[in-house]
Structure 1
């Protein structure tokens, strides 16, 4: 793993609501996103003070306004840290398409916007999308053929929920249900070409080593740990609604060229 200074998810990208909105104070993280997603809302994305694109977040889709992680991931694409030019890229858990739209601006060969929430479909009308780009509603990457994509960028939910999250409203964008992270890793490994690159945001407990050991062992089954590159991290206390006993990691890792037996 390369050693470099980290940014704790600070970013030169800003996401603003095109129409200002007064968000009630004293509400929970879930209540905030329920409120934001109660109507379709246009957002403007700027980089270093210059607006680069806009999109409309459909009703009942996670709205990235005020969230740290989407801004940082978009910045890493726009500054070239996440290289997408000429590559076939999946924006997994795309929501309103914020990340994939940045990849289009940086000349990716093709982008697939994939999400389980059926309300993301209006994204296919965005003017930045090209003939080769597509939007699909599916559970993780169940409908994608093996070894067909170069890069997958996944920023799944991180908030705990003691029941299955709804798949057709804001809950699918903020609540982590069951074995979702495990299924994302397995599907990403299947769909990526050998040597393809997987970018994953994940929250892991850091109370002791054994808390993250199962995650690392599963990652090791499909990816080359020697290629793991930590792109950014923050502790739970850095997030407004964070758990101080977790760390938020965003890293890249390459698929094994030969499967381990």
Structure 2
């Protein structure tokens, strides 16, 4: 409509309402998308803690498969002869005498753990589960059998896995395996850093365990007293057909097949077994 010189008609109201409605709709859609995204993040966070160990293991399984082949070849080539005599640590159990026991042996539930002290996924497992494992072993409800392997040495080179395993066996001789085992994982170097090949470093870490750093322990570490036993333990791991470390068996069942496994769920399983 022409309202005369210098005057223009206002835009039709329905046009303004249309723009306003579109703006409101756009804002509402944006808010809805944000709300959905927040819910997704909350759900992801709830799942994260339960799956962190399993996810970490899955991340290394492909590498572990390759490492296993390399390690197997290394075993055939030079490990059996170069490791020296097989001297099992005090109290070693199992079919091949390769298991270091922790906890009361009359406990009804058994956890079998195959670990490599250079293995990052093993450290993740220990961070997540060791408080629960300690609680259950101290309560007499669980016994743990630790088997030490040298998978990372075989795949990346070096001797840190073997030397750390030997030192842990020396700690078992001194009655301090569990504490030293935890110290090694808390102070684990990067996977590519073969720091545990240095016996001086392993002896230094023994200072973190009361009563462990003794002349007998130092001699055991420096002489590689249990190197042959470590090689035998690794050989048993390879013959067992396991896919990688950590391999964690609860009463013979690989609990890593259950991606929903959590420390709390594991605790309930152990307590149920304890009740018979």
Does the TM-score normalized on the shorter chain lie above 0.5?
Answer: no
More strand by share: 1
**RCO higher in 1 or 2 (8 Å CA, sep ≥ 6)?**
2
More helix by share: 2
TM-score by length of 2: 0.25
Structure with the greater alpha carbon radius of gyration: 2
